[in-house]
Amino acid sequence: QHGMTVAPVVANLGLLEALTLNPNPDEVEEVFTLPLAHLLREENQGYTHFRTASGYGYTLPVFLNGPHKVWGLTAIITELTLELLVPGRY
């Protein structure tokens, strides 16, 4: 929509404790993980409703985890991934 290309990658990285991540601090405030089982629980799923100045409204998914919220493009990609990984459960 805004001229960007996003290529989500799903991978098994092994033990997360063994990883050393170096996120760009200008783009990433904090790194956290969410188990698949957590994402599939209805109480951790929600939606955010937006309305533009022209009156057009749209709804996007949100995934909740304590103080963290997965929203925006990350939530959209997460929702599409869940639909592919566990059809009928999400």
Residue 3 covered by a domain: no
pLDDT of residue 11: 83
Residue 20 covered by a domain: no
Q: For residues 34 and 40, which has the higher predicted lDDT (pLDDT)?
A: 40
Residue 28 covered by a domain: no
- Average pLDDT along the chain: 89
pLDDT of residue 39: 94
Task: Assess whether pLDDT exceeds 70 at residue 1.
Answer: no
pLDDT band at 34 (very low <50, low <70, confident <90, very high): confident
pLDDT band at 31 (very low <50, low <70, confident <90, very high): confident
Of 18, 19, 21, 35, whose CA–CA distance to 85 is shortest? 35
Task: Assess whether pLDDT exceeds 80 at residue 51.
Answer: yes
> Percent of the chain, pLDDT > 70?
99
Based on the structure, what is the number of domains in the chain? 1
Residue 49 covered by a domain: yes
User: How many Cβ atoms sit within 10 Å of the Cβ of residue 43?
Assistant: 7
Q: Please list the alpha-helical segments (H only) found in 1-90.
A: 36-40, 72-85
Q: Please list the alpha-helical segments (H only) found in 2-71.
A: 36-40
Residue 65 covered by a domain: yes
